[in-house]
């Protein structure tokens, strides 16, 4: 009997080990940290030139700097200690040589980049993250592959709307995507996007040299569905960040998203997050990707622009209120309303402290961070914000990481994450705006009945009446009704 008992126990453990990691119940409880993998940490220098044709050039801002999965794994405790609970990493598939440093030009959807460590290192990273209670969100691109095809026809690559299409050929006959993507007739053949505001071009034109998939074809849709179902299964990732959503025809998304959700659910991932990138300030346009069973989360670009204008540009604080008035049905689908992924900068935008934004003013950054971690949504911090990185646009906003967990900003962000973890209202409480101004000045709101947040974007002290039910927790102030210039306060009721 004793031996039989041990055998049963072993088989039980084996089946648990093979199982996939379950989803969180509520993504609003999470705090995301975004990593640009090539620039984060080089955990294995032997893989730095493993992308065919790509060279290790750590001094070149568009070169490969060697960051990889092993480097992220070695620094998981640094990320966890900051208070993040989920990590979004840049795309992981093998890339063409010119895209390999950023990852957004996949050569195929079945090979994990050897330069980043290959499939074993990715599995190790995700397993190590899960062991620490950290979720991993993988960045996926459905709109295009990397630079795999070109044309010798006159006029290429200028966008050609009418007349005969260009004749495509493989750039390198030795590097054709594996089946089923080894077909030139699966790629749009009208050249590169010239006018990004033209709705036709922006969907069937190429994103520069990256070859645009004919996502409207049923066989391409089926292949993309199969590829990414396998990808979830093999990596055990917890969600996707979906790139270039606006450049795929709209009716592609509901079917593909449903297939991903259903497949993830069969693996026990019943709340698989998929947040799309619609890089635009207009809520009508952005929100339209969340209606009719499409995305249930997106990157919150409209809020990004509002915070930028208010904190960096001195715009009226009322602009934030106006933005939230637009974040409502029917502009947005009800499932997405309070779980958009919020951010103050990322790998495609200048850093918040850049000269053309807050210009090194860490008080402004502190205000923006307070908004990031207390406004409704799922906060996402771009790596290096805690190290006061200040690079301007791409590629200078993709700096090599430093790991110092004693900086003021690191400790400040850790405090914000801790507050958010301790107080459920900061994550899920109903957001009520209490005060704003038609100029720079106060912006105050509460979450639920226990959290009150006040910022003052003006350069003069402001007065704000705070009800006796709130007591200060984060920043002790001398006089509770006086809000100092260029400052932020959070009040939590026990
Ligand atoms: Ca490396
Ligand atoms: Ca497209």
Per-residue pLDDT of 127-173, as tens digits, reads 999 999 999 999 999 999 999 999 999 999 999 999 999 999 999 99
Strands 451-456 and 462-463: unpaired
| Average pLDDT value for the chain | 93
Residue 338 lies in a domain: yes
Ligand 1 centroid, distance to 64 Cα (angstroms): 9
Contact 270, 23 (CB under 8 A): yes
Segment 349-369 mean pLDDT: 97
Contact 247, 203 (CB under 8 A): yes
CA–CA gap between residue 378 and residue 131 (Å, rounded): 22
pLDDT value of position 492: 86
Residue 216 lies in a domain: yes
Read off the pTM.
Answer: 0.94
Ligand 2 centroid, distance to 155 Cα (angstroms): 20
Segment 424-436 mean pLDDT: 96
Neighbour count for residue 356 (Cβ, 10 Å): 10
Which of 406, 416, 410 is closest to 375 using CA atoms? 416
Residue 1 lies in a domain: no
Ligand 2 centroid, distance to 32 Cα (angstroms): 28
In DSSP notation, 355-371 reads TTTTTT-HHHHHHHHHH
Judged on CB neighbours under 10 Å (0-12, 13-18, 19+), 371 is buried
Ion ligand 2, residues whose Cβ is below 5 A away: 143, 212, 247
Q: What's the gap between Cα 437 and its chain centre?
A: 31
Strands 487-492 and 273-276: unpaired
pLDDT value of position 481: 75
Q: Residue 343: which pLDDT band, with cuts at 50, 70 and 90?
A: very high
CA–CA gap between residue 356 and residue 337 (Å, rounded): 31
pLDDT value of position 19: 85
pLDDT value of position 296: 95
pLDDT value of position 471: 56
Segment 217-240 mean pLDDT: 98
| Ligand located closest to 214 CA | 2
Ligand 2 centroid, distance to 244 Cα (angstroms): 8
Q: Residue 241: which pLDDT band, with cuts at 50, 70 and 90?
A: very high
Which of 48, 63, 143 is closest to 104 using CA atoms? 143
Residue 447 lies in a domain: no
Ligand 1 centroid, distance to 114 Cα (angstroms): 9
In the chain, pLDDT over 90 holds for what percent of residues? 89
Give me the residue label for tokens 């917890």: 238
Task: Work out how many domains the chain is built from and give that number.
Answer: 1
Residues 6+ apart with CB under 8 A from 411: none
pLDDT value of position 106: 97
Ligand 1 centroid, distance to 312 Cα (angstroms): 36
| Whether the bond into 423 is cis, omega within 30 of 0 | no
Q: Residue 482: which pLDDT band, with cuts at 50, 70 and 90?
A: confident
Q: Tell me which residue range forms the domain holding 245.
A: 21-152+174-428
Residue 160 lies in a domain: no
| Ligand located closest to 58 CA | 1
Ligand 2 centroid, distance to 36 Cα (angstroms): 24
Longest dimension (CA), the chain: 80
User: Encoding tokens for residue 204?
Assistant: 């069937």
| Ligand located closest to 202 CA | 2
pLDDT value of position 291: 94
CA–CA gap between residue 235 and residue 112 (Å, rounded): 10
Ligand 1 centroid, distance to 37 Cα (angstroms): 10
Ligand 2 centroid, distance to 200 Cα (angstroms): 9
Contact 251, 265 (CB under 8 A): no
Contact 346, 307 (CB under 8 A): no
Out of 4-8, 86-90, 245-249, 439-443, pick the least confident. 4-8
Please state, in angstroms and as integers, the Cα–Cα distance from residue 104 to each residue in 76, 172, 199, 365, 382, following that order.
24, 19, 22, 29, 17
User: Encoding tokens for residue 7?
Assistant: 């055998």
Handedness of CA 195, 201, 202, 207 (dihedral sign): negative
Residue 284 lies in a domain: yes
CA–CA gap between residue 309 and residue 457 (Å, rounded): 11
Ligand 1 centroid, distance to 97 Cα (angstroms): 15
pLDDT > 90? residue 334: yes
DSSP state letter for 195: -
Ligand 2 centroid, distance to 314 Cα (angstroms): 37
Ligand 1 centroid, distance to 91 Cα (angstroms): 15
CA angle 64, 66, 68 (to 5 degrees): 120
Ligand 2 centroid, distance to 49 Cα (angstroms): 30
pLDDT value of position 11: 43
Residue 483 lies in a domain: no
Residue 260 lies in a domain: yes
User: Encoding tokens for residue 314?
Assistant: 């001195």
The more confident residue out of 472 and 228 is: 228
Neighbour count for residue 407 (Cβ, 10 Å): 13
Q: State the CATH number of the domain containing residue 46.
A: 3.20.20.80
CA–CA gap between residue 111 and residue 340 (Å, rounded): 30
């Amino acid at each position: 009997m004793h031996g039989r008992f041990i055998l049963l126990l072993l088989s039980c453990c084996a089946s648990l080990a093979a199982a996939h990691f379950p989803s969180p119940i509520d993504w609003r409880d999470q705090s995301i940290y975004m990593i640009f993998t090539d620039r984060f940490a080089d955990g294995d220098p032997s893989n730095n030139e493993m992308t065919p044709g790509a060279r290790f050039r750590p001094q070149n801002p568009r070169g490969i700097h060697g960051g990889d999965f092993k480097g992220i794994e070695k620094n998981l405790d640094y990320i966890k200690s900051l208070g993040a609970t989920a990590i979004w990493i840049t795309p992981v598939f093998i890339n063409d040589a010119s895209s390999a440093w950023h990852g957004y030009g996949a050569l195929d959807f079945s090979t994990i980049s050897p330069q980043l460590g290959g499939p074993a290192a990715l599995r190790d990273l995700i397993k190590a993250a899960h062991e620490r209670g950290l979720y991993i969100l993988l960045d996926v691109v459905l709109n295009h592959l990397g630079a795999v095809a070109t044309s010798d026809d006159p006029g290429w690559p200028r966008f050609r709307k009418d007349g005969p299409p260009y004749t495509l050929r493989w750039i390198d006959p030795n590097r054709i995507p594996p089946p089923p993507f080894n077909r030139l007739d699966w790629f749009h053949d009208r050249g590169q996007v010239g006018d990004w505001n033209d709705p036709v071009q922006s969907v069937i034109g190429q994103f520069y040299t990256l070859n645009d998939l004919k996502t409207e074809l049923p066989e391409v849709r089926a292949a993309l569905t199969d590829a990414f179902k396998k990808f979830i299964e093999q990596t055990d990732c917890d969600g996707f960040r979906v790139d270039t959503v606006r450049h795929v025809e709209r009716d592609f998304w509901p079917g593909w998203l449903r297939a991903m959700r259903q497949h993830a659910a069969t693996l026990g991932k019943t709340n698989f997050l998929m947040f799309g990138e619609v890089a635009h300030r207009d809520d009508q346009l952005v929100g339209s990707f969340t209606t009719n069973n499409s995305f249930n989360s997106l990157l919150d670009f409209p809020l990004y622009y509002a915070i930028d204008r208010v904190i960096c540009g001195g715009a009226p604080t009322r602009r934030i209120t106006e933005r939230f008035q637009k974040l409502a049905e029917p502009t947005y689908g009800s499932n997405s309303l309070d779980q958009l992924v919020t951010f103050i900068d990322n790998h495609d935008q200048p850093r918040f402290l850049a000269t053309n934004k807050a210009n090194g003013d860490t008080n402004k950054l502190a205000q923006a961070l307070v908004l990031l971690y207390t406004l409704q949504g799922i906060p996402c911090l771009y790596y290096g914000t805690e190290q006061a990185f200040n690079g301007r646009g791409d590629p200078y906003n993709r700096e090599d990481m430093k790991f110092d967990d004693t900086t003021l900003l690191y400790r400040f962000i850790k405090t914000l994450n801790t507050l958010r973890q301790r107080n459920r209202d900061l994550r899920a409480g109903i957001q009520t705006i209490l005060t704003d101004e038609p100029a720079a000045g106060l912006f105050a709101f509460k979450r639920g009945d226990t959290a009150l947040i006040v910022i003052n974007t003006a350069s003069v002290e402001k007065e704000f009446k705070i009800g006796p039910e709130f007591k200060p927790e984060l920043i002790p102030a001398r006089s509770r009704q006086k809000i100092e210039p260029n400052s932020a306060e959070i009040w939590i009721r026990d």
